[in-house]
Amino acid sequence: MRVHKLTFATLAVAAGLLLTACQGDDDGTGKSAPSSASSASSTGGGSGSGGSGSGGSDQGGGKDSAGKSPAGKSSGGQGTAAGTGSKESGKAGKCRTDELEITAKDRTIDGDSDATVVVELKNRGGHSCAISGYAGVDLKTNAGSLSAKRTGEQAPSTILKDGQSTFFGISYPFNTSGGSGVRITGLLVTPPSETKSVSLPWPGAATLPVTDGSGSPVKVGPIGSAGQGG
């Protein structure tokens, strides 16, 4: 009986130890799994953060691209400014005496009450120029210089391209007095707004009638008042 009791006691202790060991293993495994899951979750969170960070970089790249876009707009603005700069540089300056080829021709028409000389101003400056108003006109005579009077017509504004011409007329009375009159020896033309004059041969009648000195019998029209040479 004593032997049996010892055996049963030994078996009971062994069984208790085995049960304790099994429970310990289960608990360890159970705890290990949550620990691994927690670790995986933490790693996943890190990956998620990395994804967000990566997304942030992409967005940052988008911002950089957007940042470049205003620069592109700025370039477009500069192009517009250059166009505007191109439009302002296209404005024509006034026609200068040295840039004009000036000639005069007789354009008297039979039956008219006055004789006519037409002056042509051709742009030879290599670029467009603006001209308007009245030219200064003086006739050289054996009695001195005689200035033409303006007709008072409105003077149109003209842009002359290179090679283009504009015209104005000079009218003067015929010498029907039967006398020698006043002999004309030359013509002096000063373009509008200029001080430099051009001396030309006089293409019209040789003389003017003698006047009483009450005013010039010679009249000048504005630039553009005469047609193509007449």
Q: pLDDT digit string (tens) for 18-70? A: 444 445 454 444 444 444 433 333 344 444 433 333 333 333 444 444 444 44
Residue 163, token pair as written in the block: 């090679």
Q: Which of 225, 178, 209 is nearest to 114 (CA)?
A: 209
pLDDT in tens, the chain (230 residues): 444 444 444 445 444 544 444 454 544 444 444 444 333 333 444 444 333 333 333 334 444 444 444 444 433 333 333 332 323 345 889 999 999 999 999 999 988 899 999 999 999 999 999 999 999 999 999 999 999 999 999 988 999 999 999 999 999 999 988 778 999 999 999 999 999 999 999 999 999 998 766 678 999 999 998 865 44
Neighbour order of strands in the sheet with 129-132: 93-94, 129-132, 157-160
Q: Which of 133, 129, 131, 104 is nearest to 116 (CA)?
A: 104
Q: What pTM did the predictor assign?
A: 0.59
CA distance 226 to 222: 8
CA distance 188 to 186: 7
Q: pLDDT tens digit string along 68-81?
A: 444 444 333 333 33
- Beta-carbon contacts of 23 under 8 Å, excluding residues fewer than 6 positions away, are none
CA distance 214 to 221: 20
Give the C-alpha distances (Å, rounded to integers) separating 43 from 38, 53, 104, 160: 9, 15, 100, 82
Helices (H) and strands (E) in the chain, counts: 1, 13
Neighbour order of strands in the sheet with 100-106: 100-106, 114-123, 165-173, 219-220, 149-150
**Partner residues linked to 93 by β-bridges:** 129
